[in-house]
Each structure stands twice: as C-alpha cells, then as structure tokens.
Chain A
C-alpha cells in the first residue's frame, strides 16, 4: 500500500498541533530559504555484526528538523486513525474478527494454500512456490528471461525487499522501475524504505528535491511537491510505457476465489499490472484469507489503521490474465513456516503491514525507520527481524520502552509488546545479549536478592553518581546524567525512616 506525496512531505516548521493544511496548501508552501539540513542516513551495517539502532537514532534526532517533521507527520497519522476508529462502533469487534480470521487461516495454512493454488490455476494464473528469497528471485528471473524482458515496472512490496530483489535483478541486467512515488524516491536515493506504508516519510521535501536534481535533473532549489511529482511523472511515464513486465505484491490472497487483492493510493499497482502483458505477483504465504467475506473485515481496517482514511483509493482484485497476457503468482515462504512453528512468535504472521504500530511508536517516531537497519522497522520489525537473523538483530528488541501502544493499535491484535519481552528472554537465554547488559543484570540480581548486601550498597558518599540505583551505577558511562539531572538524595531512605519511626509496630529487624 502506498500514500500520496503529501502524506510524506509536509512543512516541518508548521506547528504540529495546528490544524493540518490540506494537500495543495501544504505541499506548495515554500520552505524557508536557507541551507537545508542534510538527511541523516540509516544504521551502519557491518556484515553480521549486531545493528546499533541507538547510534543511528541519535544521528536522526541530531537532525532536529527531520526528527520534528517525522514525529509530527506520523503522530498526525495516528490521530487520523483514532478519528476513523471513533467513527466505527464495532471497531474492537472488527479487530477481534480480523485476528480470529488470521489465526484460523494460519492454523490451516496448508489447506488454504492448496485451495488457492487449485482455484487460481483454474482462473488461468500460474502459481509458483519459493522456499526463500533466492528461489523467489530465480523463479522471477526465469519467467522474465523466457519473455526476453529487460525492463520491469513494479509496485511497492516489502517481500521483495526481504528477497534483495532489486540488487539481484541489477546483477542480471534487468532494469527495475519502482512506480510508487515514495518507493521511487528511495530507489533513486539508493536507500531502503523507512516505513512499510510511507517509504520516504523520513525525508524532507528539500531532500527529495536534491535526490531528483541529481537523478532526473529537476531544479535543486524547487522543493514544491507538485513540481517534484510532476518531474517524476514525466521521467517515469515513458519507462512505464515501454516496460515488458509488471510486478506487484498482494495485500490479501483469497483462497476460495483463487484471486488476490492489491491496495494502493496512487493506482501505481494497476499501472504495473495492466500496462505490460506480463504480471508477476510476489506474495508471502501468510497473506492467505479464506473468502471474500473475510476480505471485507480487513479492507475496513487496513487504511483506517494505516493512514486514517476510510479506504485506499484503489482496491484492485486480480483474478486472471487478460487476453493474450500472462499472470504469475509466486508464493514465498522465506522463513514463514519456521516462524509458524515458534510457540511465542507465530502471531507476528497475522500482520497486514498497515504500519499503525510504527506511527504510534514513540521510539520509531524519534529514530526514523532506517535506524533499525533491517527490512522491517518499528515494533513489528523488533519481533520479526530476529527470526531472519537472531545475531544481527539481537539489539532491536531493546529499542522499545514496551509501552504497549503498538499492541493496542494493531488491527489484528498482535501482542507486540509482550513478544518484545519474550524476545529479550529468548535472546538472554540463548546468549544473544550484549555483555554489558548481562554483567549489569547479574550484579543487580545478586545485590537485590540480599537485603543485607542491598542496604550496605546504598548511597552513603557525597558523589551524586553513587546515589543511582544499581543497574545504573554499574554503567560506567553514566548515561543517565547526559541529558537529565540526577535526583537529589534525601537525608534518609524510607527504610531508615521506618526503622526510626515505626519499628516497634513493624516486624522488627531480622538482618
């Protein structure tokens, strides 16, 4: 699913609490003329070394204009979502239904996948099965080669990000053109999407102006959204018209009808699917739902949760190739069936990629999606990225306050914050925890298990540092005091006060 440009590029100087400007007003308002703040880049990837999300988050926050725009923009989506929610009396019931449908389908996934294959084949769709990203890429390449395709147009798909599809195609001399505007911006800037719904939401209009100036020759000083969109349209349309194949993802796959559904706001998936004679859809196996009645539940929830709009501009049903054309569906596992067998983490497969958990996440809003250094950012990323590579993404479950807002906006009721806690347990149990954390917690556990040791270790000296609780005390970096004052220490602890004033009533001293 995609959003229009104005969803991504509003004025960072606007008061976030003021009434939002409408499309025209917001996107045409000139930016203050001065040197623009450079866009902070994402997490540093060093092979298989654990990604340091906080390092990248700190750089994002240091770019104050970017951070302020990003936070305000996504918070606005959250508020619009709330408004839509209040317009639907049966909202919580819908969430229950959606969650139940997904659970049911996942519990009988083999059955529904085969049913889909049978019905889709009857509709004239060619169904392929890929166990991982490499197999997916090879299957698609073979289809393209068989038709002599050199240029492929494509709409946004998180699955192809998982598969490293664009790089693979580049190596194999197939030109891939993204048709979603935000995704195209990211492609031209050689950056991954930072958000599942609004892939360039971390960019200011001035960032886009400079990307376009470098890549498609627009005026670097013109950051007007209409102008930029127009430039992009002019540059991309001819490529779209001359492409020999189109690729889409799929939001929902309907087993009973053998059809699949793609939801977008720009209609770009329809361009990708309908312009060339060959349409390939790459879809994760967890996207199955039983029937069209079930689909209705999800359609009501998806765009409301994602962007706070009642429905996406386009909800396109694909049921078979048009005359003389070909339609292929590649059903991809890529770790999903393994995840389905994980006792604590299988509910992540219910995800419909609406991005609501990202919009509401206070850490995500301040960090930017690229800080996670993974295909999936934000709350949903924290719980599914480690299933792809537990070592590389072992720090991500710590990039959360476990405040639980994500769990409660999630339209399919994934217990995200509980899974974050479970991941921390799993990681610590498997030795995938940073040595600093491990040492501190072991020390804290020993001190706190003994009243005598604990009391003896409490602050007596004058140094403010020594007054911090243990797990902070053991952190030599004193991160607490960088931007926060350390609390003043009172003359006596509660324990001391109690012993002095109430001891006779209490149970007396044992230690």
Chain B
C-alpha cells in the first residue's frame, strides 16, 4: 500500500510537528509513506469563497502530486472534505476520481481502513476536550451529531480511548462551530472571534487541560482566541497524542 501524505498549508507553516507526528504514526504501522514536496494546498480557500475558477489550477496540481498513490492521507478533515466532496473545478478524469475517492482524513484512515486496535506507545495522562471540525463531523461523518436522532459514535474518541491515562472533558455545546470557517475567519472577523471566545470559555469550564482535534485550522483559531483571553489551555493535534506525545 503506497500512501501519499498531504500536509495542509496551515500545518506546514505553523504546526510542522503535526505533519511529523502523522508521518511517524503511519510509519509505525509499517506503511510506506511519501510526501510529494511540490504540494501546496487543496484549493479550499478559493472554493470556500465561491471562486471555483481560481481554484482550478491548485486542484490540478493536487491531483498531479497524488494520483500515483493508493491512498492520500492528511491530518485535516476539512481538506479531506474539499478533495472528496468539493473538488469540482476541474474535469473529472479517472485520475481526479481516483484521488478524490482515495483521500482520507487521518482518523478515518486509522479507524476505517487500517482498523487499528492499539497504540501501545501512547500515553497521555491529561484531561482532554475533543473538538470536531464541522466538515469532519457533518460531511465526513467522523462522529454522530447532536442534530440527528442516530446511534452515538465517535471515531476520534474510539481511537483516543486506546491511549493510556487519557481522561475526557465534556463540553456543554460539543458540536457548536468554533467560528473558524476558513475565509469566514477573515471576512467575518467579529462573529468569528466571538464564536471562538465562546468555544474557549466552554473548554475552560469543562476543566480541560488540553484540547485536541483532527483539524489544525480550527485549533489555530481557538488557540489565537485563548491566548488573547489569557486562557490556560493547550492545543494539540490528535496525531501527536496517538503518536505517543508526552505533553
């Protein structure tokens, strides 16, 4: 199984440790993982703003970079959603279809494809609040959502439960959007920041020491709000916890 690693622009620039943890974690399971160094972005900022035409070349580049792999794995559900569900600015050739159907968010790849049942190296004796990115939650269906009447499930929680010592902190509004929303965070800055502050307040009230998520983008926004508020909370990507980070 040949796996291509996609490291989203935020992760590349601000959280290289998340990219490293993702790579190392996949390698622990004996996979051959490559990172095509010419990658940039999945096209989400443009598509998200409605500028499909402007996204086309970026999407083409993405497909060129990843068409030769059996799977594309990325530590971001939001980017996965873009590739799988919204990469429509370009002709839907076989290569495009292949890449779109084979791109997985890290948690679903571990849970659904590799069906991992242990992380023997992982220990994280801390109180952790879990945040699900909205695309990851409601479009990729990584967990059940409170809006629907359905069996409750959570793939990230199922994985985290295999980590020794971890304790979960419950939020009062676990599924409430944190206000990042991609370009929304810039164009609608006021509401975005208020939603972020409310999310941080909920996290603080839950008694969490750490917040974890399979999306760096939401956490970058939350962390920015938390720092400005002087909130004592730490943000860590789920890949790091699963890879055995010791805080």
Q: Could you tell me which A residues sit within 8 Å of B by CB distance?
A: 17, 54, 57-58, 61, 67, 71, 75, 82, 85-86, 88-89, 91-92, 360, 362-363, 366-367, 397-405, 407-409, 417, 421, 423-429, 433, 437-438, 440-442, 444-451, 454, 458-459, 467, 469-472, 475, 479-480, 482-490, 492-499, 502-503, 505-511
Which residue of B58, B172, B183, B190 is within 8 Å of A54 (Cβ)?
Answer: B190
Which residue of A67, A425, A444, A446 is within 8 Å of B45 (Cβ)?
Answer: A444
Question: Contact residue range for chain B?
Answer: 35 or more
Alpha-carbon gap, A482 to B60, bound state (A) = 35
Contact check, B189 vs A490: say whether CB atoms are below 8 A apart.
Answer: no
Q: Could you tell me which B residues sit within 8 Å of A by CB distance?
A: 7, 9-17, 19-20, 23, 34-41, 43, 45-58, 60-61, 86, 134-135, 137-139, 145-150, 172-173, 175-177, 179-198, 220-221, 223-225, 227-228
Contact check, B186 vs A471: say whether CB atoms are below 8 A apart.
Answer: yes
- Indicate the member of A367, A417, A440, A469 with the most B CB atoms within 10 Å: A469
Given contacts A57-B191, A441-B45, contact A449 B61 (CB under 8 A): yes
Across-interface contacts of B177 in A (CB, < 8 A): 362, 401, 403, 405
Which residue of B11, B137, B181, B188 is within 8 Å of A494 (Cβ)?
Answer: B11
Across-interface contacts of B17 in A (CB, < 8 A): 490
Alpha-carbon gap, A454 to B9, bound state (A) = 10
Minimum CB–CB distance from A67 to chain B (whole Å) comes to 8
Alpha-carbon gap, A502 to B192, bound state (A) = 38
Which residue of B37, B55, B148 is within 8 Å of A408 (Cβ)?
Answer: B148
Given contacts A408-B148, A487-B220, A494-B19, contact A427 B9 (CB under 8 A): no
Given contacts A451-B39, A510-B37, contact A483 B225 (CB under 8 A): yes
| Chain B, residue nearest A481 (CB) | B224
Which residue of B11, B16, B146 is within 8 Å of A82 (Cβ)?
Answer: B146
Across-interface contacts of A508 in B (CB, < 8 A): 37
Contact check, A444 vs B46: say whether CB atoms are below 8 A apart.
Answer: yes
Given contacts A85-B149, A398-B188, contact A487 B224 (CB under 8 A): yes
Instruction: A89-B149, A487-B220 are known; give 19 further A-B pairs, CB within 8 A.
Output: A57-B188, A58-B190, A362-B176, A363-B188, A401-B182, A403-B138, A408-B148, A425-B50, A429-B53, A437-B187, A441-B51, A451-B37, A451-B39, A467-B13, A483-B196, A497-B19, A497-B20, A506-B37, A507-B36
Across-interface contacts of A423 in B (CB, < 8 A): 50
Given contacts A483-B193, A499-B37, contact A438 B145 (CB under 8 A): no
Contact check, B54 vs A441: say whether CB atoms are below 8 A apart.
Answer: yes
Which DSSP category, helix, strand, loop or mixed, fits chain A's interface?
helix
| Chain A, residue nearest B134 (CB) | A403
Which DSSP category, helix, strand, loop or mixed, fits chain B's interface?
helix
Which residue of B149, B172, B175, B187 is within 8 Å of A91 (Cβ)?
Answer: B149
Contact check, A484 vs B228: say whether CB atoms are below 8 A apart.
Answer: yes
Contact check, B38 vs A511: say whether CB atoms are below 8 A apart.
Answer: yes
Across-interface contacts of B35 in A (CB, < 8 A): 494, 498, 502, 506
| Chain A, residue nearest B86 (CB) | A421
Contact check, A404 vs B45: say whether CB atoms are below 8 A apart.
Answer: no
| Chain B, residue nearest A16 (CB) | B172
Minimum CB–CB distance from A458 to chain B (whole Å) comes to 7
Minimum CB–CB distance from A417 to chain B (whole Å) comes to 8
Across-interface contacts of A417 in B (CB, < 8 A): 138
Contact check, A366 vs B7: say whether CB atoms are below 8 A apart.
Answer: no
Alpha-carbon gap, A400 to B227, bound state (A) = 25
Which residue of A57, A459, A471 is within 8 Å of B183 (Cβ)?
Answer: A471
Contact check, A445 vs B46: say whether CB atoms are below 8 A apart.
Answer: yes
Across-interface contacts of B186 in A (CB, < 8 A): 471-472, 475, 479-480
Contact check, B180 vs A405: say whether CB atoms are below 8 A apart.
Answer: no
Alpha-carbon gap, A206 to B162, bound state (A) = 53
Q: Could you give 17 example pairs across A and B, Cβ below 8 Å?
A: A88-B149, A363-B188, A401-B179, A402-B135, A402-B181, A405-B145, A405-B175, A405-B176, A444-B45, A451-B40, A469-B13, A472-B186, A480-B185, A494-B11, A494-B20, A498-B23, A498-B35
Which residue of A57, A402, A403, A469 is within 8 Å of B48 (Cβ)?
Answer: A402
Which residue of B48, B58, B189 is within 8 Å of A448 (Cβ)?
Answer: B58
| Chain A, residue nearest B175 (CB) | A405
| Chain A, residue nearest B36 (CB) | A507
Contact check, B37 vs A498: say whether CB atoms are below 8 A apart.
Answer: yes
Alpha-carbon gap, A446 to B175, bound state (A) = 35
| Chain A, residue nearest B85 (CB) | A418
| Chain A, residue nearest B14 (CB) | A487
Minimum CB–CB distance from B78 to chain A (whole Å) comes to 10
Across-interface contacts of B187 in A (CB, < 8 A): 54, 398, 437, 479
Contact check, B16 vs A484: say whether CB atoms are below 8 A apart.
Answer: no
| Chain A, residue nearest B147 (CB) | A408
Alpha-carbon gap, A276 to B196, bound state (A) = 52
Alpha-carbon gap, A305 to B122, bound state (A) = 43
- Indicate the member of B36, B54, B196, B225 with the most A CB atoms within 10 Å: B54
